Amino acid sequence: MKILLFGYGAMNKRVAVRAEERGHEITGVVLKSKKDDVPYPIYTDFNRLPVADILIDFSHPDLTKELLRSDVTIPLVIATTGEKETLVSMLKEKADYLPVFYSANMSYGVHILKKIVEYATPLLESYDIELTEKHHNKKVDAPSGTLVKLYDAIKEIRGDAEPMYDRYTYDSKRKQSEIGIHSIRGGTIVGEHEALYAGHDETITIQHKAQSKDIFANGAIDVAEKLIDKKSGYYTYSNLGDE
């Protein structure tokens, strides 16, 4: 499989290493400008890209939007976090003539975490829910795209749910409709996500901890290997395996 990388930050560097270990070829890297530390051909014109089977994007929403406005005709694996609604809308336009995949978290384990939350929430109807995510001190966006995904899943089930980001500014007791949203930044934490269900005299915690960024790199490659054989359409982990 010939892979074109969009961006060459920490994640796509991991993708390059893992892809080559798995026998794939990196045909180039798409960047806004030339850089000296990239060991692959660099392309700065989004409308004039090399031949490739798939493009993997771990970049920034601003760059991803430029890509999606271009004439790109390569199947897309988009793992950019931030501006979810805008990116999904643009991707669905591309999906008319390309297979495209989107996930704010390329770990399959996180996909399962979301499934467990979807299962648990209606069973724990009277429980208060608090969502917490932890990441390294260089992560810019907060809350993480994954935590937003968990909140959205809960909102689908609890129609009256409302996010609570800054409880310290309110001088009142907690409402049952509130879903606490907490972001922690520090050190080199790869990524941790937790859903806490607090009931009367008991709590249930559902948690996922990433121990290496390689799970996201390998996840993107796993998706790419499946996506290249798909017909045009918009894919997520929920429907990628559908025939």
The answer to whether 231 is a known catalytic residue is no
Residue of 94, 114, 134, 135 marked active site: 135
Of the candidates 219, 231, 224, the residue with the CA atom closest to the CA atom of residue 101: 224
DSSP-derived letter for residue 179 is E
Structure tokens at 111: 């996909």
The answer to whether 193 is a known catalytic residue is no
Residue of 84, 139, 182, 226 marked active site: 139
Strands 191-199 and 54-57: unpaired
φ, ψ of residue 30 to 5 degrees: the values are: -95, 125
Helix or strand or coil: residue 100?
Answer: strand
Write down the H helix ranges in the chain. 10-21, 61-69, 84-94, 108-123, 145-157, 214-227
Tell me the catalytic residues.
Answer: 135, 139
